[in-house]
Chains A and B, each alone.
Chain A
Amino acid sequence: MKNFLLVLLWLFLSALWEIIVSPSISISGVKPDIGIAILVYLALYYGIGTALFFGFFWGIIIDSVTPGNLGLSSLLYVLTGYMIIFIRTHFEWSSPIAQSLIVLFAAFLFSGVFFLITNIGEPGGLFYYIIRYGITSALYTMVIWWVGQFFFGAPQDRIPV
Chain B
Amino acid sequence: MLPIALLLISFLLLFLPIEYKESFAGITIRIFYAPGKILKEKFEGLYKVKERARELEAELTSAKLKISFYSDASRENARLREFLDFQSSYDFKLIPAEIIKKTDSPHRFSVLINIGNGGKIKPDMTAVSDEGLVGRVQFVFNDYAEVQLLTDPTCRVAAVDTRSRVQGILKPNPSGVLIFDNVPAHENIMVGDTLKSSGLGGVFPPGIPLGVITEINIRSSSYLFAEIVVKPFVDFDRLERFFILGNKEE
Interface residues of A in 56-71 (CB under 8 A from B): 56, 59-61, 63-65, 67-71
**Are A56 and B10 in touch, CB under 8 angstroms?**
yes
Residue in A16, A20, A56, A70 whose CB lies within 8 Å of B14 = A70
Q: Total number of A-B contacts with CB less than 8 angstroms? A: 89
Q: Which residues of chain B from 27 to 58 have a CB within 8 Å of any chain A CB?
A: 28-29, 32-33, 35-37, 39-40, 43
Q: Inside 8 A of A67's CB, which chain B residues have their CB?
A: 18, 21-22, 24-25
- Cβ–Cβ < 8 Å partners of A64 in chain B: 24-26, 28-29, 32-33
**Chain A residues with CB below 8 A from B2, complex form:** 48-49, 52
In the assembled complex, the CB of A11 is this many whole angstroms from the nearest CB of chain B, namely 6
Interface size on B, residues (CB 8 A): 28
Residues 68 to 90 of chain A near chain B (Cβ within 8 Å): 68-72, 74-75, 78-79, 81-82
Q: Is the interface of A mostly helix, strand, loop or mixed?
A: helix
Q: Is there an interface contact between A59 and B10, defined as CB atoms closer than 8 Å?
A: yes
15 new A-B contacts, CB < 8 A, other than A19-B33, A71-B11, A74-B13, are A15-B32, A15-B33, A19-B37, A20-B39, A52-B2, A63-B25, A64-B24, A67-B22, A67-B25, A70-B13, A71-B12, A71-B13, A71-B15, A71-B16, A78-B10
Give me 23 A-to-B residue pairs in the complex whose CB atoms sit less than 8 angstroms apart, sorted by A's number: A11-B32, A15-B35, A18-B36, A20-B40, A49-B2, A52-B6, A55-B6, A63-B13, A63-B25, A64-B29, A64-B33, A65-B25, A67-B21, A70-B14, A70-B25, A71-B9, A71-B10, A71-B13, A74-B6, A75-B7, A78-B3, A78-B6, A81-B3
